[in-house]
Amino acid sequence: MQRIGSEVIADSYMLQDVVVIGGGPAGAATAICLAQRGVRVTIFDIRSRPTWKIGETLAPSAWPLLRALGVENRFMQEGHLRSYGSCSAWGEARIAEKDFIYHPDGCGWQLDRARFELLLLRAAGDAGARVRTERRDRDDTGRLRQ
Ligand SMILES: Cc1cc2nc3c(=O)[nH]c(=O)nc-3n(C[C@H](O)[C@H](O)[C@H](O)COP(=O)(O)OP(=O)(O)OC[C@H]3O[C@@H](n4cnc5c(N)ncnc54)[C@H](O)[C@@H]3O)c2cc1C
């Protein structure tokens, strides 16, 4: 508990500028960007560490984003599989093939998704974000539930 003036603050995360609920790729990337700019940020995720999640293909167009987050070297050390193309069927039987050889950002990746999410969370922590295992919800007014 902390006290600021007459206001009792339940936990020090109340002193954060931004609270991110969910430590998936979106939440972690948001926290990295904010923390790198000096914003005090806490991420809450229900899970104590990333577990298996569906969605393992990282398209080449994600590469400039990883570079912008400053995690490209760590990513390369993780040993994810390179992917040179994809096949998909969206709402019809025909399978569309995409060859990444024509992509300006090079190949794509077949991720170990849990490892990828852990990498992003660690990068957020290294940038200064706090990462906490907790479920957080908003009330009807949109405020964070105590
Ligand atoms: C079947 C399927 C296949 C897919 N395949 C691909 C693919 O091949 N390539 C690709 O790029 N994308 C794929 N996607 C999409 C991709 O998985 C999502 O776009 C991505 O996970 C979104 O990231 P996110 O961080 O927004 O959400 P999520 O990854 O869902 O993360 C949300 C996080 O919030 C946490 N959370 C939720 N509620 C709370 C709460 N109240 N308090 C605290 N924590 C909370 C959860 O534990 C979770 O970790 C696929 C999706 C599906 C459904």
Contact 50, 113 (CB under 8 A): yes
Same domain, 26 and 45: yes
Is the minimum distance from the CB of 26 to ligand 1 under 6 angstroms?
yes
Whether residues 71 and 104 fall in one domain: yes
Closest atom of ligand 1 to CA, residue 45: 44
Same structural domain, 3 and 48: yes
CATH code of the domain in which 138 resides: 3.50.50.60
The rounded distance, in Å, linking the Cα atoms of 51 and 113 is 8
Does residue 54 have its Cβ closer than 6 Å to ligand 1? yes
pLDDT tens-digit profile of 72-129? Answer: 999 999 999 999 999 999 999 999 999 999 899 999 999 999 999 999 999 999 999 9
Whole-number percent of the chain with pLDDT over 70:
90
Range of the domain at 129: 1-53+113-146
Neighbours of 72 (CB within 10 A): 14
- Does ligand 1 have an atom closer than 6 angstroms to the CB of 137? yes
User: Do 16 and 44 share a domain, yes or no?
Assistant: yes
Domain count, the chain: 2
78 vs 10, which has greater pLDDT? 78
| Ligand 1 centroid, distance to 24 Cα (angstroms) | 6
Q: Chain-centre distance of CA 52, in angstroms?
A: 14
Classify residue 111 as exposed, middle or buried by CB count within 10 Å of its CB (0-12, 13-18, 19+): buried
pTM of the model: 0.88
- Position 24 pLDDT exceeds 60: yes
**Closest approach atom of ligand 1 to CA 29:** 25
DSSP string, 14-78: GG-SEEEE--SHHHHHHHHHHHHTT--EEEEESSSS----S--EE-GGGHHHHHHHT-HHHHHHT
User: Which contiguous run of DSSP H or E holds residue 132?
Assistant: strand 130-133
